[in-house]
Amino acid sequence: MTTYRSYFEVKKALQKKRTSCLEITQNYLNRISKSSNLNAFVEVYSDESLFQAKQVDKKISKGKAGKLAGLVFAIKDNICYKGHKVSAGSKILKGFESLFTATAVQKLLDQDAIIIGRLNCDEFGMGSANENTIYGAVKNPYNDSKVAGGSSGGSAAAVSAGLCLVALGSDTGGSIRQPASFCGIVGLKPTYSRVSRHGLIAYASSFDQIGPLANNVDDASLVLEVIAGADNFDSTVSRRKPENYSRANFDNKPKKIAYISECLDREGLDPEIKEFLKCKISQLKKKGHSVDPISLPELDLLVPVYYIISTAEASSNLARFDGVHYGYRSESAADLENTYINSRTEGFGEEVKRRIMLGTFVLSADYHDSYFTKAQKIRRLIQNKTKAMFEKYDFIISPTTPHTAFSIGKKHTNPTTMYLEDIFTVQANLAGNPAISLPLAKHSNGMPIGLQVMANNFKEGDMLSFSKYLSD
């Protein structure tokens, strides 16, 4: 049976009656079964997805199917789906079933997309390798000795390996784009507030954003078009009407493009990735676009600022997991204080506990001004500088990651090294801008290389049309 790599192929095959949603879904289920070594899925909705597929086939026969009929998708294990387990990769949420469905998921279901399962992820989205999880590390489809990236590693691996057509992930500091780069697919982080966060288990509320991972820009555009927009369940979501992202076409006018010189000159940037970016810059210039170096002296501050603010928010958000209300409760809990201490100690993984403690420290009375307040000031500086960049330029390009996917276990014991994985992605999160990772090259080691494109706030349409232009 054909493995479809785009929704256009699926739609065409369905229109010509060469296949059915039931056949497509069954094929994905077969592929998931054969690819269990990747450890991408933590739960597969076999019977449910087949039932959904039959219902969509009936709608197609009556001419009443939604715009995503036949699109098989999966969700990261920190996104809620009513009546189904959600754990955020954590023991603390063992056995918990969601009481409602995330808005982004519901919007896809309303357009007759078919949900096939939930995907492995770093615990509460805290990680860059998908090794911080109770379910074990996700393996990279290109080389199963390598990490898939994180925290949406299961989402990236599943799409890359052809286990679903599209996946939803979440991006707090690069958690969609970095694994997309490692696994050779498209990963899109929308503008903060473009997509409702209702039903996303919070890590850092001022950073978190749901977005799609797909094989191509067209599919990512279509999914964004469906999931974007206002939501009464999320007071932070923008009420600005989404564009028809799937119809965005490049206007062939020369663009003003920038690259941050400190990124290109950064020590530790893989020489082949550096050469790839320089070649891409040269190609763009030959096609008539202006490409200029710009300076961001604060580049080395981005990661520390991000980890101060995000861990502070995590400390607050994760206080609700206390062994009392729901989720894991320690068997040795004797009284209230004991319940809190033992349940959280046993229920959270090491990285989550590390970030909670760091966040609690920077929020403490003695250090609040020295760390948290100062970090917020620098964040505002980054936001203002990024805004000023987009007053002059249409796009900013950079490598998505400083290197290709690394070996499983290589960086797991060194948190500082792991945190620096976010060095090129985190600006978009601090400033709230949309950004996308595009699979545009291969390293001599056989692993994918991603190019990141960042645009001005709510300019996803322009960014996606330019991304299609780059991908052609």
The single-letter code of the amino acid at 337 is E
pLDDT at 47: 98
| CATH number assigned to the domain covering 7-247 | 3.90.1300.10
pLDDT in tens, the chain (472 residues): 678 999 999 999 999 999 999 999 999 999 999 999 999 999 999 999 999 999 999 999 999 999 999 999 999 999 999 999 999 999 999 889 999 999 999 999 999 999 999 999 999 999 999 999 999 999 999 999 999 999 999 999 999 999 999 999 999 999 999 999 999 999 999 999 999 999 999 999 999 999 999 999 999 999 999 999 999 999 999 999 999 999 988 888 999 999 999 999 998 899 999 999 999 999 999 999 999 999 999 999 999 999 999 999 999 999 999 998 888 999 988 889 999 999 999 999 999 999 999 999 999 999 999 999 999 999 999 999 999 999 999 999 999 999 999 999 998 778 888 888 999 999 999 999 999 999 999 999 999 999 999 999 999 999 999 999 999 8
Please name the residues in contact with 221: beta carbons below 8 A apart, sequence gap of 6 or more.
245, 246, 248, 464
Cα dihedral 139, 125, 270, 406, rounded to 10, equals -30
pLDDT at 1: 63
pLDDT at 32: 98
Contact 314, 203 (CB under 8 A): yes
Distance CA 111, CA 409 (A): 40
Cα dihedral 123, 128, 131, 137, rounded to 10, equals 110
pLDDT at 89: 98
Give catalytic residues, as residue numbers.
76, 151, 175
Distance CA 357, CA 373 (A): 17
Q: Report whether the peptide linkage leading into residue 437 is cis, meaning its omega lies within 30 degrees of zero.
A: no
pLDDT at 126: 97
The phi and psi torsions of 98 (rounded to 5 degrees) equal -70, 145
Contact 160, 35 (CB under 8 A): no
